[in-house]
Amino acid sequence: MKQYNVAVVGATGAVGQTMLKVLEERDFPVGKILPLASARSQGQEVFFRGQALKVEEARPEAFAGIDLALFSAGKDTSLSLAPEAVKRGAVVVDNSNAFRMEPDVPLVVPEVNPEALKKHKGIIANPNCSTIQMVVVLKPLHDRARVKRVVVSTYQAVSGTGLEAIAELKTQTAEILEGKPIKPSVYPYQIAFNVLPHIDVFDETGYTLEEWKMVRETKKIMGDDSIAVTATTVRVPVFYGHSEAVNIETEEKLTPAEAREILAQAPGVVVVDDPAKLAYPLPVQVAGRNEVYVGRIREDFSIPKGLNMWIVADNVRKGAAFNAVQIAERLVQDGLL
């Protein structure tokens, strides 16, 4: 099998480190692996296939000879370096929001719209974590009954913000239990024992950028601008695993039993739905897994054709690193890398 030279940009971060793990777990055909990060992280060590690797500074010339570049270092880094990587012959899978809504950049969830990869011009966008897990569940239902409207409320883990947020939750929890005063730094308010109805920046509409990401990205990935989507995104004191309460209205009637049957056969989806046994997806059970879990599928009795459901996935894995590697695998499979 052909092997590929792979760069991971942002290799010292939560998503970057997980990308390295997933590449190893999936036995991706890596010839050479190049961990890259900012100048301040240069010289740090990361591990791949049991070997310690020194992190190098992410600069344009670092991409010479690279076939695939997985980016997880933020919008500014992607805007400056992703085009440079493409110029040097690499295909970029970018985890930031730098290119997601560009018309000529595919926004891909492999279980949903892998055909979009055929149109790539060097850069492929990895969608927002909360959007990814939702569309994996919506797509098979949309194919059967056409989803007309989506109302989603998210309960998002602090790992979505990064390693500093994970550390802040740990520190604040200990300080509060010990009766010590806390001083928030990553978030505007304490996150321990609290929920924050605020992810990313607010705009003039009163919505946040995270909420608009879910609206716009869902339409692009599903390939249907007519789907009405509204979102409220909330940060909760959970380390790993985003949860979502999702309400859908469909054009054709779907019973909960029919929805369970469809989803049980859908790629990348695990149905955990037995209220009598208190069986439903939980972040603590889903953390470290690659699938999207769905449960509490029930009829919305307020409208003729509606369902409610509860969707949970590991945001660092399926919401970021695993989805990026899946894209890379599909590129190899389809001869697009």
230 close to 273: Cβ distance less than 8 angstroms: no
Tokens 């239990």 sit on residue: 177
Tokens of 306: 């509606």
Mode of pairing for the β-strands spanning 91-94 and 242-250: unpaired
Give bridge partners of residue 91 from the DSSP assignment: 68
* d(C-alpha 283, C-alpha 179), whole Å: 28
Give bridge partners of residue 196 from the DSSP assignment: 235
242 close to 161: Cβ distance less than 8 angstroms: no
* d(C-alpha 232, C-alpha 198), whole Å: 9
Give bridge partners of residue 295 from the DSSP assignment: 310
| From 120, 142, 198, 242, active-site residue | 242
CA distances from 223 to 39, 105, 108, 208, 216 (A): 39, 14, 11, 23, 11
- Nearest alpha-carbon partner for 243 in 108, 148, 153, 124: 153
Specify whether 120 is catalytic: no
Specify whether 198 is catalytic: no
Q: What amino acid is encoded at 315 in this protein? A: N
| From 120, 129, 142, 198, active-site residue | 129
Tokens of 80: 């400056």
Long-range pairs of 77-81 with CB within 8 A, sequence gap ≥ 24 = 77/9, 77/10, 77/38, 81/9
Which residue numbers are catalytic?
A: 129, 242
